[in-house]
Structure 1
Amino acid sequence: MSDPATPIRVVLVDDHAVIRLGMGQLLAATDDMVVVGEAGDGAEAIAVVERTRPDVVLMDLQMPGMDGVKATRHIVSAKLADVLVLTSFSDSERIFGALDAGAVGYLLKDADPDDVLNGIRAVSRGESPIHPRAARALIGTRAGSANVQLTGRESEVLGLVKEGLANKQIARRLGISERTVKAHLTSAFARIGVSDRTQAALWVERNGL
């Protein structure tokens, strides 16, 4: 979590220079964020993040060469930074893919600028911001299917929730960050249609996970 006395250090990743320019200007107008690097594709993003070690990476998904999901997986697995997705796509497959790769939040490019800034701040506080339309897509996928399909990691996290482990303990057990645990829980809760850990534990018990 960032020190309130220091700016949140952000890397912008998007294959459109005009998007990076606009986001850079938006962040420059704040007094609590600073852009420390930019990249136009996933491979470049990894190199920039390794060099600058930001607090938050604002990551597009659809890019030439290495896409945002693969870049996210590398950045998160190496514990280099937290990744907040900013994309045009709100379909459940892409959302699940990004969250499973370790992204801790998912915002859409048609969001209000203040929502993007607040999303970056939320990630720096250890929260997992999800655009309302993306959240509805997650819930809609669940509603349209009789069988909930969880990723392997989501199943692991839910199983440990049932055991009564806190996020910090789950993170230590699985060798991932607490924020990644929170992101998996956000996704899993939406898929199974619960809003808290108690309901999740009961769901796991009922479904024999």
Structure 2
Amino acid sequence: MILIASSDAAIATLWHKELESQFSVYEVDIHERRALDLCLKKVPFEVLVVDLQLLGESGVNEIASLRDIQPQLHIVIMAKVPDEREEISAIIFGAKAYCHFDIQLSLLPKVINTVMANELWVDRKFVTRLLLEIEDITQAKHQEAKHLDKGIATMTPRECEIAGLVATGASNRKIAEQLSISERTVKAHLGVIFRKIGITDRLQLALYMNRHQQITSIWHGSKPPHQDKH
């Protein structure tokens, strides 16, 4: 069954009339978000044709919350002001189609058949734009990895060891006990580490080390430099 939801009652009626001759369409169209959530909780649907504006300021970010209610739901986003990056986000967040409000009504049945076949209905240049977006993200992550690696590379094996323990939440006393050194020595090492990587406190160091570990696992598939040394 198909559910139609739009804050514009007139356009919802047009979509409804176009689809009801070929599909089972829920008899009541939805015109506000709260009613949409309630309806999804009570009635199982195969396809939701939804006006993006009805989802509120969060827009395509709300797609995930709709799928939380009905995980198997095929979502068709209808946008009054289409945006290429928004289209990418909509698909990534789980929509099966992203269409313009001014789409030819005769195409709507094709859109529905496409998403019911678990395929995507998107702009013909969508894949190219998606690949470019992925490339931009990849380059940004690579640059971040290089920056983090550069900071880690300035540390001695002992400094890396201490920084790694800070990242686990260990106190200076715990670090001192584990490494058989004094707390004063730990503090001295931390002071040097802070200067080397341009930070000012333990929290920043913990975030730095954890982020480096995340990025390292993606780019290198190995442990950070020095981490296996003593």
Q: Note whether the superposition's TM-score is higher than 0.5.
A: yes
1:139 paired with 2:131, answer no
Unaligned runs of 5+ in 1: 1-8, 151-206
- The match for 1:99 is 91
- Contact 1:27–1:35 (8 Å) recurs in 2: no
Comparing 73-82 and 59-68, the one that deviates more? 59-68
Q: 1-side partners of 2:117 and 2:134: how far apart? A: 36
- The match for 1:83 is 75
- The match for 2:46 is 55
Higher helix share: 2
1:35 paired with 2:35, answer no
- Contact 2:80–2:100 (8 Å) recurs in 1: yes
- Contact 2:18–2:106 (8 Å) recurs in 1: no
Deviation of 1:119 after TM superposition, in Å, equals 0.6
| Aligned pair partner of 2:117 in 115, 125, 135 | 125
Unaligned runs of 5+ in 2: 139-218, 222-230
AA partner of residue 35 (structure 2)? E
1:149 paired with 2:137, answer yes
SS at match of 1:62: helix
Percent identity (aligned):
14
AA partner of residue 129 (structure 1)? W
Q: 2-side partners of 1:24 and 1:101: how far apart? A: 25
Deviation of 1:96 after TM superposition, in Å, equals 2.4
Greater gyration radius: 2
| Aligned pair partner of 1:22 in 3, 14, 22 | 14
- The match for 2:160 is none
- Contact 1:59–1:85 (8 Å) recurs in 2: yes
AA partner of residue 48 (structure 1)? C
Match runs of 1:173-188 below 5 Å? none
- Contact 2:19–2:108 (8 Å) recurs in 1: no
Corresponding pairs, count: 140
Q: Name the structure, 1 or 2, with higher relative contact order (CA <8 Å, separation 6+).
A: 1
Deviation of 1:70 after TM superposition, in Å, equals 4.2
TM-score, normalised with respect to structure 2: 0.51
Deviation of 1:100 after TM superposition, in Å, equals 2.5
Q: 1-side partners of 2:120 and 2:103: how far apart? A: 16
- Contact 1:38–1:45 (8 Å) recurs in 2: no
